[in-house]
């Protein structure tokens, strides 16, 4: 039996095996010193996204801080306004309303008195910050006596929860104190109004009082001038001339000047007539010192007066 040397068979050429092994080790030793250091971790999309979210959170926090600061400023401003007497909702208080010295209304003997009260209240409201409902509420507090009793009864005619605005209040108020029949009567008075013996200022006062009932005749400057001039006195119309006016106030100013000139002229004529009448009386022939001279009839057959 022939024995097989397995060790030798595994490497039948010892020289070749050794050479090959030695060459590989030599090449590894030559490459080892030239390897670069390991690179840093790569800048991946996940890292970028994490940094981006962090910066966004910082910006949002800054914005929240700024909004909070603005709210604090606004709160401080409102507190300062409240210390000055103004409500936080920026509407005027009832005390502000009363400080305007708004008039009290009890009753009206003439429709104009009721209308004047409404106009006065609207002028007061222009000084305040008020809603339409606050206007009605505050104005109702100024109704005293018979007017207060009327409003208390009238309020019961509204359904519960119905908002009472200033327009609704004035409609009810005028309907009670300035009924349509009275308004029609006032319109008629305006249409028949004339200057007559009134001065220009007296005529203007009556014109303005009644013109409120006939707004369609005075809603432009030209209409106001035409309506006022329509019933001027004949004397004013005669001396007015042919000039035209575009502004009502300028027209009235010229009428006042014209009236003053007319009055001065009339006074001058009256003084002149009085002076002429006095002068004619002083020149009239007397009966005391002057006599009819009869003894000189022959010399003066026509008869004359002499000083003898």
Beta-carbon contacts of residue 304 (< 8 Å; ≥ 6 apart): 293, 296
pLDDT (tens digit, 9 = 90+) per residue, 245-268? 899 999 999 999 998 888 888 888
Write down the domain spans for the chain. Answer: 94-178, 183-270
> Comparing 41-45, 64-68, 150-154, 280-284, which segment has the lowest mean pLDDT?
280-284
Distances (CA, A) of 71 to 58, 65, 78, 91, 160: 20, 10, 11, 20, 38
- Calculate the average pLDDT of the chain: 77
pLDDT (tens digit, 9 = 90+) per residue, 95-105? 999 999 999 99
> What 3-state class would DSSP assign to 135?
helix
Six-digit token string for 196: 């007559």
Residue 6 has pLDDT above 90, yes or no: no
What pLDDT, on a 0 to 100 scale, did the predictor assign at position 160?
Answer: 87
Give the burial class of 169: count Cβ atoms within 10 A of its Cβ; 0-12 exposed, 13-18 middle, 19 or more buried: buried
Count of CB atoms situated within 10 Å of the CB of 176: 14
Distances (CA, A) of 56 to 45, 47, 59, 65: 16, 15, 5, 14
Calpha distance 155→132 (Å, rounded): 16
What pLDDT, on a 0 to 100 scale, did the predictor assign at position 212?
Answer: 85
């Amino acid at each position: 039996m022939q024995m097989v040397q397995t060790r030798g068979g595994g490497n039948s050429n010892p020289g070749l095996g050794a050479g090959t092994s030695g060459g590989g080790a030599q090449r590894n030793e030559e490459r080892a010193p030239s390897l670069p250091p390991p690179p840093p971790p790569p800048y991946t999309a996940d890292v970028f996204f994490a940094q981006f979210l962090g910066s966004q959170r910082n910006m949002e926090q800054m914005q929240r801080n700024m909004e909070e600061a603005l709210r604090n400023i606004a709160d401080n401003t409102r507190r300062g306004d409240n210390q000055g007497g103004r409500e936080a909702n920026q509407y005027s208080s009832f005390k502000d309303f009363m400080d305007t010295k708004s008039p009290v209304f009890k009753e009206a003997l003439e429709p104009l008195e009721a209308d004047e009260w409404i106009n006065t209240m609207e002028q007061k409201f222009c000084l305040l910050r008020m809603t339409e409902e606050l206007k009605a509420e505050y104005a109702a507090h100024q109704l005293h006596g018979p007017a207060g009793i009327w409003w208390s009864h009238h309020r019961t005619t509204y359904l519960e929860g119905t908002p009472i605005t200033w327009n609704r209040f004035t409609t009810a108020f005028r309907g009670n104190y300035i009924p349509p029949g009275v308004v029609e009567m006032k319109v008629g008075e305006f249409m028949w109004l004339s200057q007559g013996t009134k001065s220009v200022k007296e005529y203007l006062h009556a014109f303005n009082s009644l013109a409120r009932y006939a707004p369609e005749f005075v809603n432009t400057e030209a209409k106001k001038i035409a309506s006022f001039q329509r019933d001027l006195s004949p004397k004013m119309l005669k001396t007015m001339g042919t000039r035209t006016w575009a502004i009502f106030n300028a027209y009235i100013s010229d009428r006042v000047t014209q009236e003053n000139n007319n009055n001065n002229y009339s006074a001058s004529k009256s003084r002149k007539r009085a002076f002429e009448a006095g002068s004619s009386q002083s020149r009239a022939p007397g009966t005391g010192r002057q006599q009819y001279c009869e003894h000189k009839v022959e010399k003066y057959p026509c008869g004359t007066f002499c000083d003898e």
